[in-house]
Structure 1
């Protein structure tokens, strides 16, 4: 049944993709006016019909069907001044340069009417300064060697379902699809899973000379794997969205943007912190803090930190999400939860890392799209010397020959 269901979905998507194969098209490249480098993830859409849009790929290229009477194209992204270009109805090439919008971004601030936030003599700020001062002790790279095992599961689902939609179109014609529908634990909305990919790997690190390798031990895919494995735009977006996040880094890179970590060296000037309570997390006393960007449109997170109430100031739990006004292209929602555990040697290390992202079909985010859930488990941390032959293997990612034939 699953195989039949996958074939139907693939056929359905192919029909959609080929229906406009002979339409007149506009194409071009979007570049930065200062650096002249191609810009990816730039929204391109018609001013007169916002649901007719696309985004640029990794090379800054875009392709868009023309309208019968032409129209005005809008090129926009956070951090750049939007540009409009009038276009006709035939095949044409429209290359565009966008200017950085640093001044405007710096001037946009949110000032709550009743709140007067001050960093001076603020207990939350003083506590976070100690967390940042002690974070070096929690960085794995202070060790001469380390290794760990990693299990990752990526689940992709159609997320724009409603009871009404399930009675129409493809869902009405192929009633068995309804049996695959489930409720998302994150959003409590109906979703239809279409792909699951599992990867088991081992990461090894050596400080001197520095080298880091990831060895793929096993891999398993069910459903429409092409979304993950091909070089199409969706696959590129997914790989970029689901990059590993280390809150102990100063900056976190997502979707070609720089997000300030809540415990980065510059976090005190970027975020507002609030002490909430002292509570128990996994039988350890923790200080609960919340954080929000000083400016809600900056590339930062909102969330909660649960920090050990002892001399280590180690993070035991962190939850983060993107503020709704951040405006990251094609991302409606992003939720991140990380849990840390203490090893026998005293180190606190990442044990669980879960992320859920809702992606839109179009740039104005009015239509539905995809929900992608990533569940990651880390285990078997070791800090003993590692055999040198592993670091002589070619490449940073090594795939074992029998990775596709491993048992569950």
Structure 2
């Protein structure tokens, strides 16, 4: 089994790690009209499987290999640009021209529409949310500490009655008594492991220091699957990283996802104002969001923003579009809720995540709840 796990780990690493000894081409991508740097622009050699994405400052970096003489710069909302490379090119700055295009909505609206950020009340509202987010980040305080209780439950997924009559299920008939319905997916699941952890985190801003102290731990079932030394443990560690929507980027499975309230979110997502409603006795503005391109690394979901001058997020739900194509992940759902403390700080109080994992065709998948 250990040898098999070693092979799995090496295989997993091969999916995420690329080694390059080639020269690099660097540059900055800007908007041709505003001259503002553009983030999350895809830069690639078409058909080569090699490329990169621009950062928050519009900067990018890609390999320069012999015989590869054309780079493609593309993003939803901008005209794709192909640039021929001259021998010895090391710096290449590019301007992209905005393009109003027709898109089909995948979540909010069932028909085609022409989405525009100009004079869009949802966009104007989200600009204010993003402008005010820094003041709401807990890390802006000089000190803080909090206690956290976490429960992670792993189950065999989609355990149908037909499967219960075959293989190991038939041999151990008592499994039938353990099967339950997942509250998130409504599928039949068989719990195999539960791990509970109580911890305390202490933070200091300057000099920066963050320490987490484990105060208690309890586990039942096949707990060793959660160890980070095996394939599944590695994946769980990446999938269940802490998500902070107040960050510009969210890291999951070695990927960079754009936060719905990140600095580059306005150009990455489409937003829609839905309604004004009460959430825990607070009046909130309800918005939905979806990536401009469903294949980009972004979320679809809902934001509930307090209707006052703070523009604080009261509740956020996010799910991963199926077309995103993240390795092993069939479905991912996140629900976060926030509360305001008496001193005015907004803090995360509930953070629920459900992930459906599938590794190899024909092998039982997993559902993991945190």
**Fold match by TM threshold 0.5:** yes
Deviations 1:174-228 (A, max 9, x none): 1001111100000000000000000100000111211110011001111111111
Structure possessing the higher relative contact order (Cα contacts under 8 Å, 6 or more residues apart): 1
Instruction: Find the partner of 2:365 among 346, 353, 369.
Output: 369
2: CA distance between counterparts of 1:318 and 1:179?
A: 35
Q: How has the CA–CA distance of structure 1 residues 105 and 328 changed in structure 2, closer, same or farther, with 3 Å as cutoff?
A: farther
The residue matched to 1:329 in structure 2 has which SS?
coil
1: CA distance between counterparts of 2:194 and 2:304?
A: 31
> What is the count of residue pairs matched by the alignment?
298
Check whether the contact 2:44–2:73 (CA below 8 A) recurs between aligned residues: no
The residue that corresponds to 1:100 in the other structure is 51
| 1:111 aligned onto 2:103 | yes
The residue that corresponds to 1:310 in the other structure is 308
Provide structure 1 residue ranges, at least 5 long, that are not aligned to the other structure.
1-13, 37-77, 84-96, 375-408
Q: How has the CA–CA distance of structure 1 residues 162 and 215 changed in structure 2, closer, same or farther, with 3 Å as cutoff?
A: same
1: CA distance between counterparts of 2:154 and 2:73?
A: 33
2: CA distance between counterparts of 1:184 and 1:35?
A: 48
The residue that corresponds to 2:342 in the other structure is 344
Cα RMSD of the aligned pairs, angstroms, is 2.9
Deviations 1:291-320 (A, max 9, x none): 000111000000000000111100000000
The residue that corresponds to 1:254 in the other structure is 252
Check whether the contact 2:153–2:194 (CA below 8 A) recurs between aligned residues: yes
The residue matched to 1:325 in structure 2 has which SS?
helix
Check whether the contact 2:303–2:313 (CA below 8 A) recurs between aligned residues: yes
1: CA distance between counterparts of 2:46 and 2:233?
A: 26
Instruction: Find the partner of 2:192 among 185, 188, 194.
Output: 194
2: CA distance between counterparts of 1:34 and 1:111?
A: 36
TM-score of the superposition, structure 2-length normalised? 0.74
Provide structure 2 residue ranges, at least 5 long, that are not aligned to the other structure.
23-41, 54-70, 78-101, 105-110
TM-score of the superposition, structure 1-length normalised? 0.68
The residue that corresponds to 2:321 in the other structure is 323
Deviations 1:63-117 (A, max 9, x none): xxxxxxxxxxxxxxx999999xxxxxxxxxxxxx963376779368982262000
Q: How has the CA–CA distance of structure 1 residues 209 and 27 changed in structure 2, closer, same or farther, with 3 Å as cutoff?
A: closer
1: CA distance between counterparts of 2:190 and 2:346?
A: 37
